[in-house]
Structure 1
């Protein structure tokens, strides 16, 4: 965010999975909430974020979340298995996240899409869980808009023209990628906040 330096009229669209696996889920949500006061923020709900919300629904949902990285999220709140230390502003933020977002030229989702199905009619499994390893849309969405997704990590940006996946595996030692869909500019940093050398040289 320091490098992008968003202005009040800029739109930032985080693609989800703000919690779990990393060491500071709490800090990520705090930063996103602060960012929403600085520019137009349109956060997309990821499957891990959805699991965190569902963890309140019962013991089986809670255990499922823990097994998928929820234990790391709770650690960031100083909790050893309790949800009550998660501040209400964090759950409100996740509850306010979008399933998808559209501009005149692009659609933004967490995971995947079905070409012939309207975005409104997509189910949770497709837009939040369906990996590109299991299904890759072979053509552009019926809206005629390019899809930008995350969820399925790749070593490099996965660009098919009609679909762009910018999950480059930061939680597995890769890069956190940001893309300006209008200019094509790319920012990539690792988990220590170090810029990717190629990006620095080309900027």
Structure 2
């Protein structure tokens, strides 16, 4: 059976990510979609990207770009000073790479990974973006800033013109709740803040969750 599993904002929480992958047990027939924000805030951004690169050899991996990847790339390219990024979790990211003053501590394979992240994923029933969308625009015409930066607390979009259900991250719930509307589900459940990382299988709605230390949550009885 082919599965499509979407994983929320990881933010350097490698233990939680590893626990979910171990529980999901992806095969070459499965598609794993990660919504972006692999780096910043949590303790091991480098390890998260290493793990994502490894997963490419195990399953069909689609890793989307989040706003934190945007910030990191702007600094790595020398386009902006690092101060804003460092204040939004970049310090933890650079620590995970062993930064001592030289941005070459970020290996070329990681830079290439970050540079080539797509903006969206879609199948017959769902689409996945990092943050938000314009309900009246096709996915390939969406503004980058909207896809990566605009929180649901700023604007909740209506149903998309495609009729497909949206899966998003970016807007964390401090209680660790999945936010579910008829046309939209948000799975940023605030792992770096002490709650959990969430994965959801699109075909069945099955959910896996792990806390920052890699402990799986026991699902409630049906």
- Taking structure 1 as the reference length, what is the TM-score of the superposition? 0.94
Moved over 6 A (4+): none
RMSD of aligned residue pairs (Cα, Å)? 1.4
Q: 2:56 corresponds to which residue? A: 36
How many angstroms apart in 1 are the aligned matches of 2:179 and 2:195?
14
For residues 79 and 136 of structure 2, what CA distance do their matches in structure 1 show? 37
Secondary structure of the residue that 2:135 maps to in structure 1? coil
Q: Deviation at 1:125?
A: 1.3
Q: Note the residue ranges of structure 1 that are not aligned, 5 or more in a row.
A: none
1:59 positional shift: 6.5
Q: Distance in 2 between matches of 1:67 and 1:57?
A: 18
CA contact (8 A) 2:211 2:217 kept: yes
Matched-pair contact (CA < 8 Å) for 1:8–1:38: yes
Residue matched to 1:157: 178
Superposed CA deviations along residues 62-95 of structure 1, whole A, max 9, x for unmatched, are: 2222121111101001113431100010111112
Q: Which runs of 5+ in 2 are unaligned?
A: 1-20
- Residues of 2 paired with 1:38 and 1:134: CA distance? 37
Question: Which moves more between the two structures, 59-68 or 99-108?
Answer: 59-68
Q: TM-score, normalised by structure 2?
A: 0.86
Number of residue pairs matched? Answer: 200
Match of 2:47 among 27, 51, 56: 27
Larger relative contact order (CA 8 Å, sep ≥ 6): 2
Residue 32 of structure 2 corresponds to residue 12 of structure 1: yes
